[in-house]
């Protein structure tokens, strides 16, 4: 019998209960016991939801208070020395200190989970790293599911992928850690077996990435050892986000009972999988998109399922999502204001469970058994192909008319820099922020009241202008050099723009987890994109009128808007990005015409959009660079173009970053202690750069000395005349009590560096 299965479910709750509970715990208004109750109620609710939908294999331990990789790190006892861990059970305080830092210790690094917009906490490895089972949550999760009547399939990141996800803190081969790591994995798996687990899901997403021979051997050795240590537990090895390609034989050669493949991202890999699968192995087909919100083409999915069944038989085929449903909102039924036609094209996690069950039923019992599902699916497919709301011939014609001269600034950087210095007149180590300031309760209330209609547009504009003036005056007070307006009027750096562009729709409750308690509500790109009217000009012009200091115009770039949205799947993503680039180009031109001399176009997500296979990088990077140049190359030499990028490893794409030709780039570097600057030094990055000196993802307030130390490290690898001083990222998630001392320390640090530079020059 074909089984309907799932790989993971969203954690935050339909009303973001987990977010609210964890933030209350951090504030001290919720006890640890009360937090645990909320977490367990959510996990049980989600298990029951999956059971009612007809899912046969329901995951446990996919739930996490902050991050599933951090959960595993805690379970493995892989605790960095700076936390002074006593070797006992890892509790909530230690867990959250690793995630967020505190007054005494910095947080662990955070980076993107492959090419998604989810962030995980990066494991840290020292030479000789010891591992020990230090947290029993994986067992408690399974037992709680069992008590709720759920025969769960525990899910855990695999040992080889865990090593590849981590970061070495010294120069050694991390494969030397594998034997010790496998002992703890064996202890975990045997513990699950003893508690009644029949299956365990071991996620090995790196099997779908480029691997050298040493890591391929590691897979073979690791699973041979696990099978020897845990002979009776059935293992599903789950791969996702890409095709197995040259690793197909490797994946199916492992001594496991089932292998999962992503047929949404890579449908063509089915044939290779059917050839490589071993006798009696089960093939799990990822047919429902775990990363997007469009309804499944059930006829297309059933065709793939039927092909697998014809080759293997119905007992050796499972149906599931392409990956964990973590990346999708919970329930479309909660959306009461979405346009009915657009809503009819969509499915959230709850609806995707029904799709998985329908495909499994249709594959097992014939298409007539799911005739109503198929009829509705076919209608949606036909509707999206022909809808005039999706297809705009004028937008397509404008993309086709792009010319090479639209991709180049008028002069090279050296000439532009002189022109900008003549106009902007900044000191050495100029200070600025990345754009947003704290989104206070008053700001959120005014926005909510405006949306509800309890205040009119004039009252809302007055409230926002008051906030903008407060931010401007504060920046003047602490003597920042380049100001921002604080983005009080913006709910989100992508949603704000999407609300003003054609081709976008917006949800009320389409929340997904970005990191920890940070939830985002991605815009929905359903059609061709254009800009009907200016989006930011009035706000920026007003802010500039308040001060004689330069005011940055703040925009989000096309790749970031693309990456942080749910994107239409009926045309190449590169085509959608190009449409966004033209819309942002129009905004850049209008900002310059309004007298804004510095314009920041954030491409925070450029690195995360990089294809997972290096063979696919070249075309993506060319498209991304061209899109940025389309947005920015409409201005005069004297207008300074900035961009910002989030946590990224820049080493392998530094030439493409340079090719973007932004006058100034700001990057997140404080958590890595400026290590990311090594890429810019080795490449001899030619333009100006602002390495972040203030980790805004932590509530911790850095001292002036800490910031000076970071700037000294930066000045040792980058020409000091090219350095800017700024936080790692925008400040919207922090409170004013944190922001004020941190920024004041930052300005003092910059002035200290200027003084040292003068002393050095005099000497």
Pick the catalytic residue from 46, 260, 697, 745.
Answer: 697
Find out whether 527 and 502 touch, Cβ atoms under 8 Å.
yes
* Domain limit, last residue, from 385, 400, 434: 385
- Cβ neighbours for 623, distance < 8 A, ≥ 6 positions apart: 574, 577, 578
- What is the rounded distance in angstroms from the CA atom of residue 668 to the CA atom of residue 691? 6
pLDDT score at 647: 56
Residue 412, in any domain of the structure: no
User: For residue 353, which of 382, 328, 320 has the smallest C-alpha distance?
Assistant: 320
* Domain limit, last residue, from 369, 385, 401: 385
**36, 132: one domain:** yes
pLDDT score at 385: 94
What is the tens place of the pLDDT at every residue in 573-630? 999 999 999 999 999 999 999 999 999 999 988 888 899 999 999 999 999 999 999 9
In this prediction, the residues of the chain whose per-residue pLDDT falls under 70 are: 647-649, 674, 676
393 alpha-carbon distance from chain centroid: 32
Lateral strand order in the sheet of 688-691: 552-556, 598-602, 640-645, 664-667, 688-691
Helix (H) or strand (E) holding 352: helix 349-365
**354, 436: one domain:** no
* Domain limit, last residue, from 385, 409, 431: 385
Residue 599, in any domain of the structure: yes
pLDDT score at 682: 77
User: For residue 742, which of 461, 433, 392, 338 has the smallest C-alpha distance?
Assistant: 433
Residue 391, in any domain of the structure: no
Residue 171, in any domain of the structure: yes
Handedness of CA 558, 560, 562, 565 (dihedral sign): negative
Residue 270, in any domain of the structure: yes
Handedness of CA 222, 226, 228, 234 (dihedral sign): negative
Residue 103, in any domain of the structure: no
- What is the rounded distance in angstroms from the CA atom of residue 677 to the CA atom of residue 667? 9
**Segments in 594-634 forming alpha helices (H):** 617-632
Write out the residue range of the structural domain in which residue 657 sits: 417-758
200 beta partners? 235
**360, 443: one domain:** no
- What is the rounded distance in angstroms from the CA atom of residue 453 to the CA atom of residue 462? 15
- Residue whose entry in the numeric block shows the structure tokens 């089984």: 3
- What is the rounded distance in angstroms from the CA atom of residue 149 to the CA atom of residue 138? 17
Residue 181, in any domain of the structure: yes
**641, 551: one domain:** yes
User: For residue 601, which of 562, 552, 673, 564 has the smallest C-alpha distance?
Assistant: 552
**607, 496: one domain:** yes
CATH code of the domain in which 190 resides:
3.20.20.210
**312, 448: one domain:** no
**128, 226: one domain:** yes
**367, 460: one domain:** no
**369, 422: one domain:** no
Residue 117, in any domain of the structure: no
Q: Enter the tokens of residue 654.
A: 């530094």
**662, 589: one domain:** yes
Report helix, strand or coil for 503. strand
**445, 569: one domain:** yes
What is the total count of domains within the chain?
2
566 beta partners? 524
124 beta partners? 167
Handedness of CA 52, 53, 54, 58 (dihedral sign): negative
pLDDT score at 292: 97
- Half-sphere exposure (CA, 13 Å, Cβ side) for 482? 31
pLDDT score at 649: 65
Find out whether 92 and 35 touch, Cβ atoms under 8 Å.
yes
- Half-sphere exposure (CA, 13 Å, Cβ side) for 165? 27
User: For residue 658, which of 692, 682, 634, 631 has the smallest C-alpha distance?
Assistant: 682
Report helix, strand or coil for 750. helix
Report helix, strand or coil for 348. coil
Q: Please indicate whether residue 46 is annotated as part of the active site.
A: no
What is the tens place of the pLDDT at every residue in 102-154? 888 999 999 889 999 899 999 999 999 999 999 999 999 999 999 999 999 99
| φ, ψ dihedrals at 293, nearest 5° | -120, 20
**511, 556: one domain:** yes
What is the tens place of the pLDDT at every residue in 634-686? 999 999 999 998 755 677 888 899 999 999 999 887 777 767 677 777 778 88
């Amino acid at each position: 019998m074909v089984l309907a299965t799932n790989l993971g479910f969203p954690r935050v709750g339909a009303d973001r209960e987990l977010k609210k509970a964890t933030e209350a715990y951090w504030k001290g208004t919720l006890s640890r016991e009360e937090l645990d109750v909320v977490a367990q109620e959510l996990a049980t609710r989600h298990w029951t939801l999956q059971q009612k939908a007809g899912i046969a294999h329901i995951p446990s331990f996919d739930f996490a208070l902050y991050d599933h990789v951090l959960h595993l790190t805690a379970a493995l006892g892989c605790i960095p020395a700076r936390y002074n861990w006593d070797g006992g059970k890892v509790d909530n305080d230690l867990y959250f200190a690793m995630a967020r830092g505190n007054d005494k210790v910095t947080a662990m690094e955070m980076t993107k989970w492959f090419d998604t917009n989810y962030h995980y906490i990066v494991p840290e490895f020292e030479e000789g790293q010891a591992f020990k089972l230090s947290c029993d949550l994986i067992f408690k999760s399974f037992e709680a599911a069992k008590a709720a009547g759920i025969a769960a399939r525990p899910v855990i990141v695999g040992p080889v992928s865990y090593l590849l996800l981590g970061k070495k803190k010294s120069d050694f081969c991390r494969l030397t850690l594998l034997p010790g790591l496998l002992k703890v994995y064996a202890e975990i798996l045997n513990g699950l077996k003893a508690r009644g687990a029949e299956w365990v899901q071991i996620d090995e997403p790196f099997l779908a990435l480029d691997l050298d021979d040493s890591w391929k051997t590691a897979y073979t050795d690791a699973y041979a050892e696990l099978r020897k240590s845990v002979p009776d537990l059935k293992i599903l090895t789950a791969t996702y986000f890409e095709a197995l390609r040259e690793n197909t034989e490797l994946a199916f050669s492992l001594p496991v009972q089932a292998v999962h493949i992503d047929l949404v991202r890579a449908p063509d890999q089915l044939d290779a999988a059917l050839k490589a699968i071993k006798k009696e192995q089960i093939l799990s087909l990822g047919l429902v998109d775990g990363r997007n919100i469009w309804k499944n083409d059930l006829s297309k999915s059933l065709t793939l399922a039927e092909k697998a069944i014809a080759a293997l038989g119905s007992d050796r085929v499972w149906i599931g999502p392409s990956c964990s449903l973590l990346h999708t909102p919970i329930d479309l039924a909660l959306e009461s204001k979405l346009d009915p036609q657009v809503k009819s094209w969509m499915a959230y996690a709850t609806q995707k469970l029904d799709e998985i069950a329908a495909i499994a039923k249709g594959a097992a019992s014939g298409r007539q058994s799911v005739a109503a599902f198929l009829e509705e699916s076919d209608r949606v497919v036909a509707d999206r192909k022909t809808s005039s709301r999706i297809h705009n011939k004028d937008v397509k014609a404008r993309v086709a008319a792009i010319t090479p001269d639209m991709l180049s600034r008028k002069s090279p950087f050296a000439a532009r820099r002189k022109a900008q210095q003549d106009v902007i007149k900044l000191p050495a180590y100029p200070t600025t922020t990345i754009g947003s300031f704290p989104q206070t309760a008053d700001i959120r209330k005014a926005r909510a009241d405006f949306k509800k209609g309890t205040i009119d547009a004039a009252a809302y504009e007055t409230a926002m202008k008051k906030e903008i003036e407060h931010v401007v005056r504060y920046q003047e007070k602490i003597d920042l050099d380049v100001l921002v307006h604080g983005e009080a009027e913006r709910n989100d750096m992508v949603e704000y723009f999407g609300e003003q562009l054609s081709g976008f729709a917006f949800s009320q409750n389409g929340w997904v987890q970005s990191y920890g308690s940070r939830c985002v509500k991605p815009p929905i790109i359903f059609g061709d994109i254009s800009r009907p009217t200016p989006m930011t000009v009035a706000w920026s012009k007003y802010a500039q009128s308040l001060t004689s200091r330069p005011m940055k115009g703040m925009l989000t770039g096309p790749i970031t808007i693309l990456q942080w949205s749910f994107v239409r799947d009926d045309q190449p993503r590169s085509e959608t990005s190009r449409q966004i680039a033209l819309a942002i180009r129009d905004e850049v031109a209008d900002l310059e015409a309004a007298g804004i001399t510095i314009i920041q176009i954030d491409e925070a997500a450029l690195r995360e959009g990089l294809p997972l296979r290096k063979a696919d990088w070249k075309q993506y990077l060319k498209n991304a660079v061209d899109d940025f140049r389309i947005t920015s190359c409409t201005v005069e030499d004297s207008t300074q173009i900035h961009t910002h990028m989030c946590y990224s490893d820049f080493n392998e794409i530094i030439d493409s970053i340079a090719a973007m030709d932004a006058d100034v780039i700001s990057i997140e570097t404080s958590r890595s202690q400026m290590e990311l600057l090594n890429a810019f030094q080795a490449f001899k990055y030619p333009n100006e750069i602002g390495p972040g000196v203030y980790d805004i993802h932590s509530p911790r307030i850095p001292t002036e000395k800490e910031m000076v130390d970071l700037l000294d490290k930066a000045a040792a690898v980058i020409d000091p005349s090219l350095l800017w001083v700024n936080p790692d990222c925008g400040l919207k998630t922090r409170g004013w009590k944190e922001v004020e001392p941190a920024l004041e320390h930052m300005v003092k640090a910059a002035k200290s560096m200027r003084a040292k530079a003068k002393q050095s020059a005099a000497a």
